[in-house]
Amino acid sequence: MWTRLRRSGLRLVNSPRWRTAAALVFVLPLLVSPLGTDTGERVAAQTTAVAPPQAEFAPVGPGGVEPSDPAAQQQGTTAAAPEPDAPQPPVADTVEPVQPQLLVRPAEPVQPDGLVTALNVPGIRHLAGAVELDGGIQALGSAQQVKILVVDPVAFRPLTPSSTAQTKGVWERLTEGELVVRHDIAHHLQLPLGGDATVYGPSGETLVLRVGAFASNGAPPLADALVSWQVGAQLGAAAANLLVIAVSDDTAAQAIGRQLVEAIGGGDVSPVQPPTEQRARLVGVGAKQFQPFSYIDHGDGMITIDPAWVRKWIVSARLPIFGGVARCHRVMMPQLINALREVEARGLAHLIDRGGYGGCWVPRHILFDPNKPLSMHAWGLAVDFNVATNQYGARPTMDGRIVEIFQRWGFGWGGHWSTPDGMHFELRAVIQ
């Protein structure tokens, strides 16, 4: 008889016949410890999700499901996002990211000529003027007060985390007048990637904006959402009330901050602490098969993992039934493929929603909550599917035959948890 394991369990067996397998080996999901300051290269696009261009898109909700009717959720009198006044310059393929060291909040908002003055302060390596707005976002019936940052995409891009700065699509969507939202905010509001959201300005201004991307904007985050200056003007933005600054490596940041404040007529200077590199590892007898990794936490539910670890352990393969290419841990991928092949061979493929695939390797915390532990998705050791009908906390609808097949191939099912997560399967047993 199959004995259900704890959520944190992982066991090693020699075949799918569990009755003859070795004893259980329990492994805790992870331990985290500080390593030092992030100075290394990181993999771009790990922590971003970008909608296709407007002409190509179909709205996609969290986990890859289509919302029932996002347009029907828009209430009241709203205005569409402004169309570009003139063709926008092409977005650069790549930029060189720089770590900001200072945030300056001027005593009075800074006009463009003031930004030029600030840039002329010796020791400034890169500077972007922005406007912080207290606003709100509503989508699919949920609403939340948010901090919106109005930015010049070209100037602000290098100051964002490498994974965001190097993802061209984020900046294309922003330049096109779309909304770029933090992952945890998007998850909480169930924002549909490629769908619409109602955005409120501080004085009641209202726009309907397309959700163009989910991406980290700083570590720690500088805001909940980004819009371009063109869109921000429609929400009440005028002159810059925030300067985000990177200084030259051989300069003293605080001294430069004081000089800059003097040059612009006063203000407050806040240091930006560079993100601390941390380390995640599995522990227990079976943990030797799972190499630890170092990562940077973006503070919005997402992390960026050491690219050497990603290159070694995260692999791509085309999945049966779904047809698309998935990225998972190389230890888990064969078992996932074999489980899906068995589903197919037994004539049960119709029980899996091909459009309801929710991802495998997603470098994030549980529920995109930075206060929770890292998810097994961060390791590429979990997979979500049939997302639309198996939401977290809801009564699972996953067919028991699918669950039984996946359990036989070494997976634990989230539908058994005290708070069920019926879409979720994670590796518990490695078949050697």
Q: Tell me: the pLDDT tens digits for 38-66?
A: 323 333 335 678 888 875 433 333 333 22
> What is residue 51's predicted lDDT score, i.e. its pLDDT?
82
Q: In terms of domains, do 67 and 153 share one?
A: yes
Residue 68 has pLDDT above 60, yes or no: no
- Cα-only R_g, the chain: 23
Number of domains, the chain: 2
Q: Is residue 361 in some structural domain?
A: yes
Rounded percentage of the chain residues whose pLDDT exceeds 70? 80
What's the length of the chain?
Answer: 432
Q: Is residue 70 in some structural domain?
A: yes
Beta strand pairing call for 102-106 and 225-228? unpaired
Q: In terms of domains, do 323 and 374 share one?
A: yes
CA dihedral 215→218→224→225, nearest 10 degrees, is -50
Q: In terms of domains, do 211 and 356 share one?
A: no
Average model confidence (pLDDT) for the chain? 83
Read out DSSP for 201-218?
Answer: -TTS-EEEEEEEEEE---
For residue 141, give every residue at least 6 positions away whose Cβ sits within 8 Å of its Cβ, in sequence order, or none: 73
> What is residue 287's predicted lDDT score, i.e. its pLDDT?
78
Looking at residues 269-278, what average pLDDT do you find?
90
Domain that holds residue 371: 11-38+277-431
Q: For residue 304, give the amino acid letter.
A: T
Q: In terms of domains, do 17 and 162 share one?
A: no
Residue 3: which pLDDT band, with cuts at 50, 70 and 90? very low
> What is residue 58's predicted lDDT score, i.e. its pLDDT?
38
Q: Is residue 313 in some structural domain?
A: yes
Q: In terms of domains, do 241 and 173 share one?
A: yes
Residue 34 has pLDDT above 80, yes or no: no
The CA–CA distances, whole Å, from 160 to 293, 323, 349 equal: 22, 34, 42
pLDDT tens figures, 340-390: 999 999 999 999 999 999 999 999 999 999 999 999 999 999 999 999 999
> What is residue 147's predicted lDDT score, i.e. its pLDDT?
97
Lowest mean pLDDT among 35-49, 294-308, 322-336: 35-49
Q: For residue 250, give the amino acid letter.
A: D
Q: Check residue 233 and report its DSSP letter.
A: H
Q: In terms of domains, do 179 and 163 share one?
A: yes
Lowest mean pLDDT among 30-39, 114-123, 132-141, 396-405: 30-39
> What is residue 38's predicted lDDT score, i.e. its pLDDT?
32
Q: For residue 236, give the amino acid letter.
A: G
Read out DSSP for 334-388?
Answer: HHHHHHHHHHHHTT-GGGS-TT---BS---BBGGG-TTSPBPGGGGT-EEE-S-T
Q: In terms of domains, do 27 and 57 share one?
A: no
Q: Is residue 5 in some structural domain?
A: no
Question: Residue 399, Cβ neighbours under 10 Å: how many?
Answer: 15
CB 95 within 8 A of CB 167: no
Q: For residue 15, give the amino acid letter.
A: S
Residue with tokens 């990562």: 295
> What is residue 284's predicted lDDT score, i.e. its pLDDT?
67
Q: Is residue 2 in some structural domain?
A: no
Looking at residues 305-317, what average pLDDT do you find?
96
The pTM of the full predicted model, rounded to 2 decimals, is 0.77
Q: In terms of domains, do 288 and 241 share one?
A: no
Read out DSSP for 54-80?
Answer: GGG---B-TTSPPPS-GGGG--SS-EE
- Which of the residue ranges 20-24, 273-277, 321-325 has the most confident prediction, judged by mean pLDDT? 321-325
CB 377 within 8 A of CB 362: yes
Q: In terms of domains, do 250 and 228 share one?
A: yes
Better-predicted residue by pLDDT, 346 or 274:
346
Q: Check residue 397 and report its DSSP letter.
A: -
> What is residue 294's predicted lDDT score, i.e. its pLDDT?
96
Last residue of a domain, one of 229, 255, 271: 271
Q: In terms of domains, do 231 and 86 share one?
A: yes
Residue 7 has pLDDT above 90, yes or no: no
| Cα-to-chain-centroid distance, residue 316 | 19
Looking at residues 186-208, what average pLDDT do you find?
92
Q: Check residue 166 and report its DSSP letter.
A: T
Closest alpha carbon to 315 in 298, 325, 328: 328
Last residue of a domain, one of 252, 271, 290: 271
Q: In terms of domains, do 294 and 427 share one?
A: yes
Question: Sign (positive/negative) of CA torsion 161, 167, 170, 172?
Answer: positive
d(CA 10, CA 63): 25
Residue 253 has pLDDT above 70, yes or no: yes
> What is residue 62's predicted lDDT score, i.e. its pLDDT?
34
Q: Is residue 1 in some structural domain?
A: no
The CA–CA distances, whole Å, from 406 to 198, 341, 383, 412, 413 equal: 40, 11, 11, 8, 8
Lowest mean pLDDT among 27-31, 147-151, 303-307, 337-341: 27-31
Rounded percentage of the chain residues whose pLDDT exceeds 90? 66
Q: In terms of domains, do 305 and 223 share one?
A: no
Last residue of a domain, one of 256, 271, 286: 271
Q: Is residue 3 in some structural domain?
A: no
Residue 423: which pLDDT band, with cuts at 50, 70 and 90? very high
The CA–CA distances, whole Å, from 256 to 114, 122, 244, 259 equal: 16, 7, 13, 5
> What is residue 148's predicted lDDT score, i.e. its pLDDT?
97
373's tokens: 């532990």
> What is residue 168's predicted lDDT score, i.e. its pLDDT?
95
Question: Residue 275, Cβ neighbours under 10 Å: how many?
Answer: 20
Q: Is residue 188 in some structural domain?
A: yes
Question: Residue 290, Cβ neighbours under 10 Å: how many?
Answer: 23
